[in-house]
A and B are shown apart, each in its own frame.
Chain A
Amino acid sequence: MSAVELSYMPGCTLKTKAKNFETTTLKLLELLDVHARELTDWYCCGTTYSLASDNVINHLGPIRTLVKAKEAGREDLLVLCSMCYNTLRRAQELVQHDEEKRSKINEFMYEEETDFTGDEVRILHLLTLLKETVGFDRLKEKLVRDPGGLKVAGYYGCMLLRPREIAIDPVAEHPSILEDLFAACGVDSVYFPFKTECCGSYQTVNEKQVVLSRTKAITESAVKNGADLIVTSCPLCHYNLDAYQPRVAEATPGFRTIPVMYISQVLALLAGLDDVQDYNLHVVDPRPVLRARGLMGKGEPAAGGKA
């Protein structure tokens, strides 16, 4: 594979609460000779796709970002956040398949130099990029650390899979792209029946009971099946599953916490990229588990993991 250059849209949360997702991904991609160029202009994706037929205005943000991506002249647009992926892909589908709404949306694009017709840019989630552009085999070549028997529970959540038209895996009810990725890296994935269940999402603001109950069910399933970590690509899932565990523990005798990490954090560790990790952004500290599996501290590979 020769060097790849693609546009990149981080979204809001990757610049703050999920900074560790961004830094570990960009460092990992550099190692893989993939150059992600952040768009000079990108807009709020709206985070949740508006479902009412006449709420066309809410699709302008993602479409404007897609216009910017088109104008940047690169074929692919990389997104990491699952919520960005969902809104951008669905807005793209809308523009592609609904002529009336497409022309209405384009009427608002008076500051943009070109229209968007839906097929000028390919929106790639990190997982699809790793699978199709980089290839799991090539990724594996860059890894320098023995996973030490690490067991992960790959958590997809909702936004990468639903609705089906935008799913990153052809089998949306029982996806395997995460498991395939980790298998290629020598990491075991545990049986995890909650992998596509909703974490409660934005109910976290005003219906905490819903999220507490979801977090309990999802994390207990991962622990029961022997996982060391839950791995995800959604900053909202990450927050709900991570930050609620102390509250679940308070109410549940015998509850065992489990750290939640981004896909790229785990891959970066396996690639020996230790200095880009920021464990302060975690509530349940992953370090004890990582140390126990020999993924930190002693036995560290020499600096940087540059192959």
Chain B
Amino acid sequence: MMKIQLSRQALLSELREQVKDLSEQNLLACYQCGKCSAGCPSIEAMDVMPSQIIRWVQLGQIEEALKSKTIWLCAACQTCKVRCPRGVDLARIMEALRQLVLRENVDYVHPNNISEEDLEELPQIALIANFRKFTP
């Protein structure tokens, strides 16, 4: 089992503050009911559940959250947002976390790695949305 060291430093960290500002969410509103994870359409491909991501963020474990594949599997479908009994928009927290990575000038998806066949076949809206979410 993974060990997490809790500290006052982590709780007050700059990164946690950035996630709060970028997402405009009250991070402490979440009481870990798990409704977001229960309805998430991408959950079977995720390494960590969406509800665990927000728990990490609450505890200031931003580096852990950034290492997860989960933040890149969110399709911004907003199912978690509309069902959250505490009014948390988790999709915005996922976006904030992705932005922390992308703003280091990282391309999570690069056009050069997309096959000729996909470029031919995929509708534009798929490519544009993908680049919007996965490139700086």
Contacts and interface: CB of A to CB of B under 8 A. Distances in A.
Contacts of B79: 158, 162, 197-198
B126 A163 contact: no
Contact of B23 (A53, A207, A243): A53
Which range holds the interface residue count of chain A? 35 or more
A18 interface: yes
B132 A163 contact: no
B129 A172 contact: no
Interface residues of B, number: 39
Given A205-B114, A214-B41, A83 B130 contact: no
A200 B123 contact: no
A197 B123 CA distance: 20
B41 A197 contact: yes
B49 to A, nearest CB: 15
A47 B109 contact: no
A20 to B, nearest CB: 13
Interface in A202-239: 202-207, 209-210, 213-214, 235-236, 239
B26 interface: no
> By DSSP majority rule, is chain A's interface helix, strand, loop, or mixed?
loop
A274 to B, nearest CB: 25
Contacts of B91: 51
Contacts of B95: 50-52
A305 interface: no
A49 B81 CA distance: 14
Contacts of B96: 51-52
Nearest to B111: A205
Given A52-B22, A52-B96, A53-B23, A162 B82 contact: yes
Interface string B107-129: 00100001000100111111111
A177 to B, nearest CB: 17
A199 to B, nearest CB: 8
B124 A200 contact: no
A49 B91 CA distance: 11
A12 interface: yes
Contact of B81 (A17, A58, A162, A200): A162
Given A51-B76, A53-B22, A210-B42, A202 B126 contact: yes
Interface in B26-55: 41-42, 44-45
Contacts of B89: 51
B75 A203 contact: yes
Nearest to A44: B128
Given A52-B95, A243-B121, 18 more contacts: A12-B124, A13-B124, A17-B124, A46-B132, A49-B76, A50-B132, A51-B91, A52-B92, A55-B99, A158-B77, A163-B82, A200-B42, A203-B42, A204-B130, A205-B127, A205-B130, A210-B75, A236-B129
10 contacts: A16-B123, A47-B125, A50-B132, A83-B125, A201-B129, A204-B122, A205-B127, A239-B122, A239-B126, A243-B121
Which A-B residue pairs are the 4 nearest by beta carbons?
A: A198-B77, A162-B78, A202-B129, A51-B95
